[in-house]
Amino acid sequence: MAGSSTDKDGTEQVIMLERRGRVAWITLNRPDAMNSINNAVRDQLPKAVRDADSDPEVRVIVLRGAGPRAFCAGADIKEFSASVPAIQRRQTLVHDAWIEAIDRARKPVIAAIHGFCLGGGLEIAVACDIRIAARGSTLGFPEVGLGLITGAGGAPKFLRIVGLGRAMDMMLTTERIAAEEAHRIGLVSRLADSDKLEEEVTKVAEKIASLPPLSVEFAKEVIKKGFDSDLATASRLEGDLFALLLTTNDRLEAAAAFKEKRSPKFTGS
Ligand code: HXC
């Protein structure tokens, strides 16, 4: 991949969005800076995610990093400066929370991780629904060593995935872990050889894309809400969404295809 380009108006194009059939591939495209997150990424990534999420042809979204070395090495440290007044910084982060586009996506979002996945890069990955990592990748939170902490919802999401003890250990020591260890602790759900990552991600994305889209969307919703609400509330939501799915054509189509021993054709209705 060639690296970011610049628009006529001087805007650096750092995010690429490509649709391959029912899968939208969103690429962080700053390979010379290890795809680190600068203001242009914070500006363009949410838009690409929202565009893919609202495209009726898209069923699954994949996030990945360009170039051979990194998914994303975190915030662009070269943009760090003391020049922004704290109050302005705080208002920007709260009112323009770029990571929320991933948090709010209705469609499943898969992180295809290779190389370094550090700091804000790992925050992006834990905002995704499924993480698939290439062997040889390295994951970690260096923030504390930089006099910071995670700033894009990374800590609360990470501890929900790996548990309190492991989250404390990794975030307080800043030690990085290998993909195999990330797999062992459930931080990534699948591993692939590095030259097979795209193939593995495509396989998973296509599998999900072949399923009834409303079931996929509601399953994602109830799993996410199940984390953040009490058992009774989450179970009630599950019951409501289950009842809604009973009214869909795709449910009837799935049952008919089973009886007729044929492949189902789902329409998302
Ligand atoms: C800006 C970065 C960068 C980053 C790498 N580069 N990480 N530029 N911000 N986060 C640039 C390097 O400056 C260098 O460019 C090029 O990418 C290659 O990096 P090297 O350091 O030469 O490679 P290597 O020695 O192999 O080391 C790779 C590395 C290291 C381990 C990933 O670059 C590193 O530690 N980077 C910082 C990682 C980090 O601390 N991230 C957390 C940021 S804080 P030049 O032009 O010099 O060749 C954060 C907070 C999030 O993410 C808050 C909410 C979003």
Per-residue pLDDT tens digits for 137-150 = 999 999 999 999 99
pLDDT in tens, 215-230: 999 999 999 999 889 9
Ligand 1 pocket test target in 77, 124, 175 with most atoms within 8 Å of CB:
77
For residue 239, report the distance from its CA to the centre of ligand 1, in Å: 46
Which range among 1-15, 195-209, 222-236 shows the weakest confidence by mean pLDDT? Answer: 1-15
34-66 pLDDT, tens digit each? 999 999 999 999 999 999 999 999 999 999 999
For residues 181 and 230, state if they share a domain: no
In the predicted structure, residue 7 carries a pLDDT above the cut 80: no
Portion of the chain with pLDDT greater than 70, in percent: 97
Give me the pLDDT at residue 93, please. Answer: 73
Q: What's the chain's average pLDDT?
A: 94
pLDDT class for 12, splitting at 50, 70, 90?
confident
Predicted local distance difference test score (pLDDT) of residue 196: 98
pLDDT > 90 in the chain, percent: 87
31 lines ligand 1 (CB under 6 A): no
CA 125 centroid distance within chain: 5
The residue nearest atom 37 of ligand 1, judged by CA position, is 73
- Number of folded domains in the chain? 2
Q: Is the pLDDT of residue 174 over 70?
A: yes
Residues 56 and 189 both lie in one domain = yes
Say whether both 119 and 235 belong to one domain.
Answer: no
The reply to whether 129 and 234 lie within a common domain is no
CB 82 within 8 A of CB 132: no
Distance separating alpha carbons of residues 72 and 14, to the nearest angstrom: 12
Residue 1 pLDDT > 60: no
Alpha helix (H) residue ranges in 146-196: 154-162, 164-173, 179-184
Domain limits for position 122: 5-209
Task: Judge whether 93 lies within some domain.
Answer: yes
- Say which CATH number the domain at 245 has: 1.10.12.10
From CA 16, how far away is CA 25, in angstroms rounded?
A: 8
pLDDT of residue 95: 67
pLDDT band at 10 (very low <50, low <70, confident <90, very high): confident
For residue 269, being part of any structural domain is answered with no
* DSSP β-ladder status, 190-192 and 177-178: unpaired
100 is catalytic: no
Residues 140 and 232 in one domain: no
Single out the catalytic residue among 143, 175, 198, 238: 143
- Told to judge if 198 belongs to the known catalytic residues of this protein, a careful annotator would answer no
Q: Domain check: are 153 and 249 in the same one?
A: no
What's residue 84's pLDDT? 76
Residue 266 belongs to a domain: no
Which region among 89-103, 185-199, 201-215, 245-259 has the lowest average model confidence (pLDDT)? 89-103
pLDDT in tens, 63-99: 999 999 999 999 999 988 767 788 887 777 776 689 9
Q: Same structural domain for residues 68 and 168?
A: yes
